[in-house]
Structure formats: C-alpha cells, structure tokens
Amino acid sequence: MSESSTNKSGPGDASTGAPGTAANLPTAFELIGGADGVKALVTRFYDLMDLEPAYGHLRGLHGSTLDGARQKLVLFLSGWLGGPDLYVQQYGHPRLRARHLPFPIGVRERDDWLACMHQAMDELRLAPDLRLRLDQAFAKTADWMRNQSG
C-alpha cells in the first residue's frame, strides 16, 4: 500500500475532528479491527437508525433506502480513522459539511446522530481507550456539521 493512500501519522484533520494518531501508535482503524470492524460499526449504526423508534426523526432526514449512506460511511470512516482513504479515492475531497447543508442539522440532529453511534459502539464493545478517542472525534465532527442554530 502506498504512503499516499494511508493516513497513519500527524495530528488528524483539525476541521473534521478525525482521530489522529502519533506515528508510533496504532491507528483507530487498526484498533477497531480494520475494514471488517468499520463495516460492523456502520452496519449496526444504520440498522439502529432504521429500526429504533428513538431515531425516527434522524431516519426521516435520509432517503428511502440507506444503502448509499452505508456504503459511503464505510469508505469515509476508513480514511478518517487512519486507514486507506477509500472515499477520497472514489469521490474526491469529502466536503462533508457542504454535503450536509441540504439537511437541517441542529442540536437535536447532532445529538440523535451521536446517540445512535454511541449505541452502535456500545454493542460492539470497543476497548475503552479506543472508545474514548472515537467519542471525542465523533463529537467534534458532528458538532462541526451543525448548520442550524436550534
């Protein structure tokens, strides 16, 4: 794998809150179990969004099928967690905030998204230090996505 297709060092992306890794430490991507771990997290996250009445409002912001969102979040998180930058390879720069502008995202939507992700991570029983890192990184990124004052 070439150096340019990975993101294993540096402080992370300040604007997106990616969970950066010091050069000699394993990446969050490695700690979560690589591609299989990312897929398991995204699968559970969107299954919960689809099934749990508590996330009905959040689900309603998405399209009739979650298939595209599932696929894209897997690609995005791979790079964001310090693994292969699959989203960028397929779609170019994520422009994540701009891509979320069509959806009204305020405090409620941010907190619902984080609650759904927390529930998915709870069920996957991640190691506590990885969990702490991801809690902080997701909180920062989700807050940065807000585009409504309420």
Contacts with ligand HEM, residue ranges (CB under 6 A): 58, 61-63, 68-69, 72-73, 76, 91, 96, 99-100, 103, 105, 109-110, 113, 138, 141-142, 145
Contact 105, 26 (CB under 8 A): no
CB of 105 to ligand HEM, least distance (A): 5
What is the smallest separation between the CB atom of 109 and ligand HEM, expressed in angstroms?
4
Q: 47 with 114: CB under 8 angstroms? A: no
Q: How far is the CB of 21 from ligand HEM (least distance, A)?
A: 16
* Contact assessment for residue 134 and residue 28, using Cβ atoms and an 8 Å cutoff: yes
Q: Rank residues 39 and 72 by Cβ distance to ligand HEM and give the closer one.
A: 72
Residue with tokens 């490695």: 30
63 vs 16, 34, 49, 87, 146, CA distance in Å?
Answer: 24, 28, 12, 20, 19
| Closer residue to ligand HEM in complex, CB, 32/58 | 58
Q: How far is the CB of 101 from ligand HEM (least distance, A)?
A: 11
